């Protein structure tokens, strides 16, 4: 069984494709602090007959309701910059991942142009300090992405 965690799921842009990938026996945990977004995800999951999407109202720093040591893959898709304490979020996520789990981050580069975002070098440092090994990294003009695994 595959378990996927969508941190800061928003309206489910990644949640629903992930539900298809993990299949009926898998589980997608869609977490966000916005009740409005979570209601949209719940309604859409129900309309699609998806029993493998669990919607949780929790902050990215807490991940309450997500079981420990069961998540195979996790993603912060344009959501990391919305999290107040990135270090705490990554530490908490570390306890949710299985030993060979992976975390994927795609976020805007913090700049005046976009008005918000994260510093890739800062987040990469936090990843290493919180027990991850970065296995992939790409920095573009506006966005950056990283793949990391717990060590």
Which whole number is the average pLDDT over 85-103? 98
pLDDT digits (tens, 9 = 90+) for 12-62: 999 999 999 999 999 999 999 999 999 999 999 999 999 999 999 999 999
Q: So what's the pLDDT on residue 143?
A: 93
pLDDT digits (tens, 9 = 90+) for 104-148: 999 999 876 667 899 999 999 999 999 999 999 999 989 999 999
Which whole number is the average pLDDT over 65-76? 98
If residue 48 lies in a helix (H) or strand (E), which one and from where to where? none
Assign domain 3-150 to its CATH superfamily.
Answer: Vaccinia Virus protein VP39 (3.40.50.150)
Q: Measure the CA–CA gap between 139 and 2, rounded to whole angstroms.
A: 29
Contact 92, 63 (CB under 8 A): yes
CA nearest to 133, candidates 106, 94, 107 = 94
Return all residues near 64 (Cβ < 8 A) that are at least 6 apart.
56, 58
How far, in whole angstroms, is CA 130 from its chain's centroid? 16
Contact 72, 101 (CB under 8 A): yes
Residue 80 pLDDT > 70: yes
Ranges of each domain in the chain: 3-150
The structure tokens listed for 63 are 């991940």
For residue 67, give the DSSP letter.
P
Q: So what's the pLDDT on residue 113?
A: 66
């Amino acid at each position: 069984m595959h378990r996927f965690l969508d941190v800061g799921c928003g309206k489910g842009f990644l949640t629903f494709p992930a539900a298809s990938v993990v299949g009926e026996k898998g589980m997608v945990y869609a977490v966000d602090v916005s009740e409005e977004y979570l209601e949209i995800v719940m309604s859409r999951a129900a309309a699609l007959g998806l029993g493998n999407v669990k919607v949780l109202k929790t902050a990215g720093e807490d991940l309450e309701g997500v079981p420990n040591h069961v998540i195979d893959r996790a993603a912060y898709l344009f959501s990391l910059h919305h999290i107040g304490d990135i270090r705490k979020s990554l530490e908490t996520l570390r306890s949710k991942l299985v030993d060979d789990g992976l975390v994927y981050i795609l976020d805007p580069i913090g700049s005046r142009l976009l008005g918000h975002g994260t510093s890739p070098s800062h987040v990469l440092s936090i990843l290493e300090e919180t027990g991850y090994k970065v296995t992939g990294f790409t920095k573009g003009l506006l966005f950056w992405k990283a793949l990391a695994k717990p060590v």
